[in-house]
Amino acid sequence: MHELAVTEGVIKVAVEAAGGRRVRAIDLVLGALSTIVDDSVQFYFDALSRATLAEGAVLRFRRVPATALCLDCGATTEVAPPLPDGCPGCGSSRLRVSGGTEFLVESIEVDDEPG
């Protein structure tokens, strides 16, 4: 369960970025191949954000698809796990995951007034 650690990181980032203002919402990007479970993040967030400026903030998850880059023809393809055996364009098996593993804070919304 590494959601605990990543959720601590999300709160830290959001509170620092808020600069003393209350955090209303946090937009998170979650890749299709990420092992992060959004329900778990929400669970830890509710517990860990208590008594911080992020308490009560809404978590919004934006899911991004996994992509694979073909090392032979250079095509980037949207893929769904498990990865395909070959590039849909040229059939090469030399595919590298190029996206979809990310989990990051995309943006936050804060109150206009400090405090």
Q: Which residues bind Zn ion (CB under 5 A)?
A: 70, 72-73, 75, 87, 89-90, 92
Least distance between Zn ion and beta carbon 83 (Å): 13
Least distance between Zn ion and beta carbon 31 (Å): 22
Decide whether 9 or 88 has the Cβ nearer to Zn ion: 88
Least distance between Zn ion and beta carbon 69 (Å): 9
Residues forming beta bridges with residue 25, ordered by sequence position? 58, 109
CA dist., res. 67 & res. 96, Å (int): 9
Rg (the chain; Cα; Å) = 18
CA dist., res. 105 & res. 14, Å (int): 8
Q: Cα–Cα distances in Å, from 36 out to 21, 47, 72?
A: 28, 17, 31
Least distance between Zn ion and beta carbon 106 (Å): 30
Decide whether 65 or 91 has the Cβ nearer to Zn ion: 91
Decide whether 9 or 89 has the Cβ nearer to Zn ion: 89
